[in-house]
Amino acid sequence: MVWIIVAGILVFLLFLVFISQVRIHFKIARVMNDDEIICDMKALYGLFTYRYEVKNMDFQGFGKGLKLKDGMGQKKTDVQDQATQGEKRITAELVQQFYQKFKDIIVRVQNLQEWGKRLLRHVRVTEVRWYTTAGVGDAVETAILSGVIWGLKSSILGYALRYVRLKKTPKLGVWPVYNKPHFTTELEGQAQIRLGTVILLMFVLLPRIRKKQKSDDAWEGRLSEA
C-alpha cells in the first residue's frame, strides 16, 4: 500500500514537471552610447532561474573586435543569486571558430534543421515590443531613415517569428527626432515552451547523434582497411 502511494506521488510530481513551462524574457536596448542585453529564463515553477546580462558593448575595430562587459547569475532557490561579472572579447577568429563548431554539429546530427523547426513550432511567443527613436538632425533625412527602420523591423521580425506560434501581434513604433542626432531602440519579448516537450525532443535528438557517430566510425574503419 505504501509503495502504491509513493509511486502515485512520483507519477504526480513527474506530471507536474512535464506540464511546467520554461519561460524566457529578453530585452535588447541601446540608448545613445549605453547598451543593455538581458535574457532571463525560469523553469520548474520558478525554482530554477538563470540570467545572462551584457551591460556594455564597445566595438574597437575589426582587429580587436567587440568588447563585452557581462554579468551572469544562476538561482536555483529563492535565495538571492550571486552574479559573476567579467569582460569578453568577440573577434573575427572567435566568430570563425564558432561557425566551424556549428558546421561540425550540423554534420554530426542527422536532420538537425528539421529538429530545430519542430522545436520552434512548440514555442509560444506571448509578447514582442520594439520601439525606436531616431534622428540625424535633418528633417528629410530623418524621414527617410524612419522609413528604412520600419522596413528593417518588419523584415527581421517576419523572418524571426515565422516558425514560432505568435500569441499577440508585435507592437512596433518608430518616432523621428528632427532637430538633433539621436538613436534609441528597445526590443523586448517573452516566450514559453513546456518542459516536457523539451525533454521529449531531446530524447528524439540523442539517437540521431549516436547513429551519426557510429556511421562516421564505420566509414573511418573502411578507409583504414583500404
Residue 154 vs residue 210, higher pLDDT:
154
Number of domains within the chain: 2
Q: Is the pLDDT higher at 219 or at 195?
A: 195
Is residue 210 within 8 A of residue 146, CB to CB? The reply is no
> 96 or 173: which carries more pLDDT confidence?
173
Residue 127 belongs to a domain? yes
149 neighbors 94 (Cβ within 8 angstroms): no
Claim to verify: residue 160 and residue 191 sit in the same structural domain: yes
pLDDT over 70 at 127, yes or no = yes
Assess whether 134 and 193 both reside in one domain: yes
In this predicted structure, the answer to whether residue 11 has a pLDDT above a threshold of 60 is yes
Q: What pLDDT sits at residue 151? A: 92
The answer as to whether 150 is a domain residue is: yes
Q: Is residue 149 part of a domain?
A: yes
Domain enclosing residue 136, as ranges: 109-226
Q: Is the pLDDT higher at 72 or at 179?
A: 179
117 φ/ψ angles, rounded to the nearest 5 degrees: -65, -40
In a shared domain, residues 116 and 103: no
The mean pLDDT value for 95-104 works out to: 75
| Of residues 200 and 95, more confidently modeled | 200
Higher pLDDT, 94 or 142: 142
What is the 3 state secondary structure string of 56-125?
EEEECHHHHCEEEEEEEEEECCCCCCEEEEEEEEECHHHHHHHHHHHHHHHHHCCCHHHHHHHHHCCCEE
Question: Are residues 31 and 97 both part of a single domain?
Answer: yes
Q: Which of 73-77, 132-136, 137-141, 166-170 has the lowest mean pLDDT?
A: 73-77
Whether residue 90 lies inside any domain: the answer is yes
Please tell me whether residues 101 and 75 are part of one structural domain: yes
Q: What is the pLDDT of residues 144-195, one digit of tens each?
A: 999 999 999 989 888 888 888 888 888 999 999 988 888 899 999 999 999 9
Tens of pLDDT, residue by residue over 25-47, are 999 888 777 778 889 999 988 88
Domain boundary residue, one of 56, 83, 108: 108
| 80 lies in the same domain as 188 | no
The verdict on 57 and 167 lying in the same domain is no
pLDDT interval class at 104 (50, 70, 90): confident
Q: What is the pLDDT of residue 226?
A: 44
Instruction: Give the separation between CA 25 and CA 192, rounded to whole angstroms.
Output: 9
